[in-house]
Structure 1
Amino acid sequence: MDTLFTFFQGDSPALQYIGSWSASLWDNRDMYQMQLHLLLASVFPIYIGAHAALRRPPSALAPKKQPSTDNEDDELDLEPAIEGLRPSDAIMFPVLASITLGGLYLLIKWLKDPSLLNKIMTWYFSTLGVFGVGKLAGDSLHVISTIIFPSVWSDGKQLYHVKPDFQIQVTGESSRSQPLRTITDKKNPLPSFFSSIPFAESLNTILWSTRALLKNHWIFRGYLHGLLNTKLRVTFHDVAGLTLGLAAIIAYNTSGKAWWLTNLMGFGFCYGAFQIMSPTTFWTGSLVLMGLFIYDIVMVFYTPMMVTVATTLDVPIKLVFPGPKRGGMLGLGDVVLPGIMMALALRFDLYLHYARKHLKQGETARYVEATGLWGERFWTSGSKEKNVADAARFPKTYFKASVVGYVIGMLTTLVVLNYFNHAQPALLYLVPGVLISLWGTAWVRGEIQLMWGYTEDGSLNDDRKEGKEELTKEEVEQRADEREKRRSKEHAHHVFLFSLSDPKHDLPKAKLDGEKEE
């Protein structure tokens, strides 16, 4: 490097400038590596959390239920309860945040030694972290399992469908008009060239059994008289994820709070927040962000509270990055708050995708699950045939625009931070970056009114197209009460009961309809 710098020290001013800039870049490489780490770590939970938060848009019909002999299992509510924001939250968020921050600041000043407060808050967030990290770990294991055991894959010429009920792989299209598929000679459930490896029959059996373990679900029933009455669908990934979450929290509290464990807990909190929070509308989300934009400026520039609390409390409510001097940190609010708007943008993209399909086909299309298909997308990236992974391949114009705006805002934050060498309110730059990118994209595309009118409060749903009347809130509550009464009758003679069982399934037919052996 010294020889290279000597070359740039010639008589040319341009070469001298490049040389001095390169030397500065090399001397401060640790700082820039830390800042790149910060940038990637802030975008990562937003990207995966936004995709995990995808759900059926109002422009798509609900998918048809598969016939089952266990009607009770069909009634299980798989979608998490979504906390929708309201316009009044634009005022309440900054007010509550100010009260909380001010209370913590005064408590720190009064205690002088914050070790007790750190312990209490650490155990509180650790309890929550078990579920946040558990959910993140469980979904990560699901992604890995879809890569190892995809339901469909392509070799660039043909599309292969894995049929676990019959432990075969088939090719060809299947429809009502042409229910014809060809059974291949592949004996294991693996994709690509792995599927052609001649494993022993016993190993193939283990592979199919492992795939079933990872793909199937169980029914968890919990009853404690007068206190608990619940029924949930549970997968192997859920159990393994919760176990890993518990192990991570124990390691965090016994290993000196390693920075990467702190960040893992932060990722878990962010990931969970994107799936249970929604701005409901773009204009509500914009109002909330603008209110917090002002709050962040006041608390960082005009009071010592934000910096004092962030640097004093050693609790997993921030992302931390090792580096020169004291390293760097980023509050989870700087990820979650812009992130919920970016997640809304991705769901808006999905809404537009189905709306355009409706205009093109003349009828409303049924929703196809768009989450958890990372393995299928990877293995069918070169396929021209339609497959289940196409549900996740919709145009993501607004989401990509918001990511660009967020990255620009984060880069601006880092540049200003280095220039002034003073803590910066990240929302000062992130909020304009995200909002300008979203509303600017809508303005350029002529979709301002469409974006303004989009809402997730349920008013855009139109179930009458299937001959069903839209349920009122009272009717939904009445049906929930009826299910609760039915469950209570099931446990009429129980004091407590906890069980994990297989759901009831229709037995597969002895023959695979419409398929012939090659």
Structure 2
Amino acid sequence: MDELALNGTLAGDALANITANITDNLAASNMTPMAAARAAFSLSDPSTFAQLLYAYRHMFIMEARILGLALGVIYLGAHASLSRPHSAAPRDDESDKADGDGKGTTKKRKRTADVAKESIQLKDALLMPFFAAAALIGFYYLIQYMQDPALLNRILRAYTSLIAVASVGAFLGGGLSLASSLVFPNVWTSRRDGHLHRVDGSKRAQWVQKATASDAPRAANDTSAWELDPSRTTPFPDMLAAPISWLPASSAARVTSASWAFRRLVRESWSIHMSLRGVGEEEIEGLTIHALIGMALAGLTAYLYYFVGLFPSLLNNIMGLGMSYLSLQLVSGTSFAIGSTVLIGLFVYDVVMVFYTPFMVAVATQVDAPIKIVAGSGPQTGMLGLGDIVVPGIYMCLCLRYDLYRHYARQIKHVDTTLTAEVANLATDEDKATTTKTTTATREVKPQYIDPQGRWGDRLWTSGAATAVTTAGLAAARFSKPYFYASMVAYVIGLMAAMAAMLITRKGQPALFYLVPALLVATWGRAAVTGDLKGMWAYTEDDSQDTKDVVVEVDADGKPIKADETKDEKKDKKTDGKDDQKKKKENENENDNETGRDIFVFAIRAPPESDFFEMDI
């Protein structure tokens, strides 16, 4: 529910008791509780102000917990939603870079596909408040009809428990991936000499940046910038590797070997191959140990929440945060115009439903399902609806992806290209001579995309380094985020304003009433100040804008002579795919006569050692 609320009874009693104690000390017992609080804040006596802070400590702690949970899931969800922007070119499937030993080889670079996002269209943004109102009113009258919402709560808890398995699995899997990146970074900086080190999982060794390297290495395996460091044999930075050095030599060797094996386990991606003869086959890539553990923990969480009822507040928050985390990855605001329309529409919806109808408060207080996060401290309890996280969060994710778009747009190079065309000489019918016409055009060359995800450990272990030398991966992860940070600050200000209004009025507040103006003023205001209004308005995540700019030859009429290669490639791929399937069936029939046939196959494949090659460190 889109509402921020305190437990009214507990909050009112606590405020009355706290203010009564303070007013006695202030000799202002004839004031109302909130008037006494204002008087206390207006006094210059530090001891009185300290007493007030101490008296309200549980409320401040509760508000800080709600704010921390909301900001944390938005921050993680926004970074997990990053994908290649239109201003960057896709990475090649293969790289001909040389290995650290100087031998040139070609190794495939395994990458998981980006999660497909559901783009909000303008008509969806306009209809969203009406659909939300219809759902809320329907819930309200259903509760009134049933008198006792216990059965409805049970149905909602069962439904949310089922859908939470996927969302909580993604949330917990992402948390495990973050933790493993902190323990096993790709690069780290020595605090003793300031040198940059790179961990090489394929060779179970570490490389150190050469002291003579003057420029930032653009690839992890650039032999001109790195040299083998024989003194470091573990996959850890020095701080984490220190305990291993305290062990006996034999034990240290076993722990080191196990550490390298575990590092590969938590970093590699598996594929699932399934086939049923006569039906078809399917292969799923990108499966990780984090995802498997996350799904198992998600199933356990849903079971404990629905059947056992153990730690209800904690499990409610885990499931609510999980659904918010996955929603931020799956839904795209498409453009700032559409995203702003969504915010404004739900802003009006929130105000009407909270201030002018009983629907919002009644449903929010009677429905017991993971559709909100709750926090408490002492006698104070508060809640924040998931809508107050997801709706602003989708807009804030859009801001972060726009920052990434601008990062690569600044790297686009304009290259002059000479175009040639054969023009027929039509002076006479018998003259078949042609002349060559040359023109100069400019085409854009986009930089290749480097995935910034999963580099939390790299940023942590290289923060505060004296050297400015970096790697391509670090540069990609450290892109400037002015719009995202502006939206984060605006979210904090808006939510704190909602909490202050709630404290003064002792009534539940529509958080979007404060969050939406703060977000829109912060982001559009920054664009206006920096002169980026045109770029911000034109930005879109529509796939139709993701085009590959090419220069083709043209004839005398300006029509292209050369066909669009990208379309031909797609046709060729489709044709090749059909031919490959036909040949595969013929080969299967031949093999069946010799070695038998497989009726059903289910296999989980791990990448070979030769393919475990980390790019863009």
| TM-score of the two chains, using structure 1 as the length reference | 0.87
Does the CA contact (< 8 Å) of 2:58 and 2:380 recur in 1? no
Match of 1:232 in 2: 285
Match of 2:51 in 1: 23
Looking at structure 2, the residues matched to 479 and 379 of structure 1 have their Cα atoms a distance apart, in angstroms, of 49
Match of 2:593 in 1: none
C-alpha deviation, 1:257, in angstroms? 5.3
Match of 1:209 in 2: 261
Looking at structure 2, the residues matched to 113 and 483 of structure 1 have their Cα atoms a distance apart, in angstroms, of 63
Determine whether 1:168 maps to 2:220: no
Structure 2: gaps spanning 5 or more residues: 1-21, 28-38, 97-107, 210-216, 416-443, 553-563, 590-596
Determine whether 1:244 maps to 2:244: no
2:233 to 173, 187, 191: 187
Match of 2:67 in 1: 39
1:499 to 579, 603, 614: 603
Does the CA contact (< 8 Å) of 1:274 and 1:339 recur in 2? yes
Match of 2:180 in 1: 145
C-alpha deviation, 1:243, in angstroms? 1.2
2:184 maps to a residue whose letter is F
Determine whether 1:374 maps to 2:402: no
Match of 1:514 in 2: none
Determine whether 1:422 maps to 2:457: no
Question: 1:76-118 deviations in whole A, cap 9, x for unaligned?
Answer: 8611111000111122211111111111111111111111111
2:536 to 448, 451, 456: 451
C-alpha deviation, 1:216, in angstroms? 1.3
Does the CA contact (< 8 Å) of 2:59 and 2:380 recur in 1? no
Task: Call closer, same or farther: CA 1:313–1:23 in 2, change over 3 Å.
Answer: same
2:94 maps to a residue whose letter is Q
Looking at structure 2, the residues matched to 77 and 483 of structure 1 have their Cα atoms a distance apart, in angstroms, of 26
> SS state of the match for residue 327, structure 1?
strand
C-alpha deviation, 1:165, in angstroms? 1.6
Could you tell me the percent identity over the aligned residues?
34
Report matched runs for 1:389-468 at 5 Å: 389-465=474-550
Match of 1:128 in 2: 163
Report matched runs for 1:88-103 at 5 Å: 88-103=123-138
Task: Call closer, same or farther: CA 1:428–1:496 in 2, change over 3 Å.
Answer: farther
> SS state of the match for residue 108, structure 1?
helix
Does the CA contact (< 8 Å) of 1:167 and 1:208 recur in 2? yes
Question: 1:325-364 deviations in whole A, cap 9, x for unaligned?
Answer: 6721111010000101101101111111111122699842
Does the CA contact (< 8 Å) of 1:9 and 1:15 recur in 2? no
Task: Call closer, same or farther: CA 1:335–1:487 in 2, change over 3 Å.
Answer: farther
> SS state of the match for residue 319, structure 2?
helix
1:206 maps to a residue whose letter is A
Report matched runs for 1:44-123 at 5 Å: 44-66=72-94, 78-123=113-158
Determine whether 1:299 maps to 2:353: yes
Match of 1:287 in 2: 341
Does the CA contact (< 8 Å) of 2:271 and 2:283 recur in 1? no
Does the CA contact (< 8 Å) of 1:187 and 1:195 recur in 2? no
Looking at structure 2, the residues matched to 487 and 137 of structure 1 have their Cα atoms a distance apart, in angstroms, of 43
Looking at structure 1, the residues matched to 582 and 604 of structure 2 have their Cα atoms a distance apart, in angstroms, of 19
2:73 maps to a residue whose letter is P
1:189 maps to a residue whose letter is P
Does the CA contact (< 8 Å) of 2:67 and 2:492 recur in 1? yes
C-alpha deviation, 1:184, in angstroms? 2.4
2:258 maps to a residue whose letter is I
Does the CA contact (< 8 Å) of 2:140 and 2:363 recur in 1? yes
1:406 maps to a residue whose letter is Y
Does the CA contact (< 8 Å) of 2:58 and 2:379 recur in 1? no
Looking at structure 1, the residues matched to 445 and 329 of structure 2 have their Cα atoms a distance apart, in angstroms, of 29
> SS state of the match for residue 357, structure 1?
coil
Looking at structure 1, the residues matched to 271 and 492 of structure 2 have their Cα atoms a distance apart, in angstroms, of 42
Cα RMSD over matched residues? Answer: 3.7
Looking at structure 1, the residues matched to 572 and 535 of structure 2 have their Cα atoms a distance apart, in angstroms, of 29
> SS state of the match for residue 322, structure 1?
strand
Task: Call closer, same or farther: CA 1:179–1:330 in 2, change over 3 Å.
Answer: closer
| TM-score of the two chains, using structure 2 as the length reference | 0.74
Looking at structure 2, the residues matched to 64 and 272 of structure 1 have their Cα atoms a distance apart, in angstroms, of 28
Match of 2:437 in 1: none
Looking at structure 2, the residues matched to 374 and 76 of structure 1 have their Cα atoms a distance apart, in angstroms, of 18
Task: Call closer, same or farther: CA 1:271–1:470 in 2, change over 3 Å.
Answer: farther
1:317 to 371, 381, 385: 371
Query: Rg: which structure is higher?
Result: 2
Does the CA contact (< 8 Å) of 1:153 and 1:191 recur in 2? yes
Question: 1:117-172 deviations in whole A, cap 9, x for unaligned?
Answer: 11111111111111111111111111111111112111142111111121111113
> SS state of the match for residue 54, structure 1?
coil
Does the CA contact (< 8 Å) of 1:130 and 1:242 recur in 2? yes
Looking at structure 2, the residues matched to 59 and 188 of structure 1 have their Cα atoms a distance apart, in angstroms, of 38
Deviates more, 1:417-426 or 1:479-488: 479-488
